[in-house]
Amino acid sequence: MKLIIGLGNPEPRYDGTRHNVGFWLLDQYARRRELAFQPKAKFKASVAEFDAAGDKVIIAKPTTYYNLSGEAVRALADFYKVPVGDILVVHDEIALPCGTIRTRRGGSDAGNNGVRSVTEHLGNGTARLRIGTHNDLREQIDDADFVLSRFTADETARLTELLPTLTSIIDRFVDGTFDTTTHR
């Protein structure tokens, strides 16, 4: 069994913001697989699931708000008995230029409160798909305002171009060939 978590904030007013790039990617991934998210209060998340080569895969968007994402991840991991090594967390990375993709297993939270929450609840062994969101605006405003700012039209186009690469990374996680040293 695999668990894929996209970090973001649940209200529509956060759609299109840098902090919600994890939700955006899982929405695109679910659409490609013709899946629909269902709210699951006991998991504090909206959840969709599918089978891949006989294994169940759960994709989830926490409804706890970004900084408390670990609560939802822990509830899902405990209920489905998913080991930490079989969990992928998709999140924004303000230290990376917009459109940069990095993967890793474990490591520092680098000040990302959502990743910190997941680590506090599960430990430091999850796989991560980090999507760069940095631009020059970050130097002009504080981090909290920056992560809640919207992508520009050019940035949105760039992320859309990267969609095949991003979804293939998720597919590789699902099939067990996740590359933990991706730098694109």
Give a yes or no: residue 182 inside a domain: no
Q: What's the pLDDT at 118? A: 96
Residue among 97, 106, 85 nearest 155 (CA): 97
Q: Give the mean pLDDT of the chain.
A: 93
pTM (global) more than 0.75? yes
Q: Which residues participate in catalysis according to the annotation?
A: 19
Angle between helix axes 153-175 and 21-32 (nearest 10 degrees) is 60
**CA distance linking residue 79 with residue 46, whole number of Å:** 15
- Residue-level pLDDT at 142: 87
The total number of residues written for the chain in this structure: 184
Residue 75 structural domain: 2-175
pLDDT of 56 above 90: yes
CATH code of residue 98: 3.40.50.1470
Distance in angstroms (rounded) separating the CA atoms of residues 169 and 179 = 8
Q: Residue 165 burial by CB count (10 A; 0-12/13-18/19+): exposed, middle or buried?
A: exposed
User: What is the distance, to the nearest Å, from the Cα of residue 69 to the centroid of all Cα atoms in its chain?
Assistant: 10
Residue 152 domain-assigned (yes or no): yes
Number of domains comprising the chain: 1
Encode pLDDT of 127-172 as tens digits: 999 999 998 887 788 888 999 999 999 999 999 999 999 999 999 9
Tokens of 180: 């933990």
pLDDT score at 110:
86
The answer to whether position 78 is within a domain reads yes
Q: What is the predicted pLDDT for the residue at 179?
A: 65
* pLDDT value, residue 151: 95
Q: How far is CA 46 from CA 7, 18, 32, 117, in A?
A: 12, 20, 17, 18
Dump the DSSP string for 45-71: EEEEEEEETTEEEEEEEESS-GGGHHH
Does a structural domain hold residue 184?
no
Q: Is residue 164 domain-resident?
A: yes
Q: Residue type at 174?
A: V
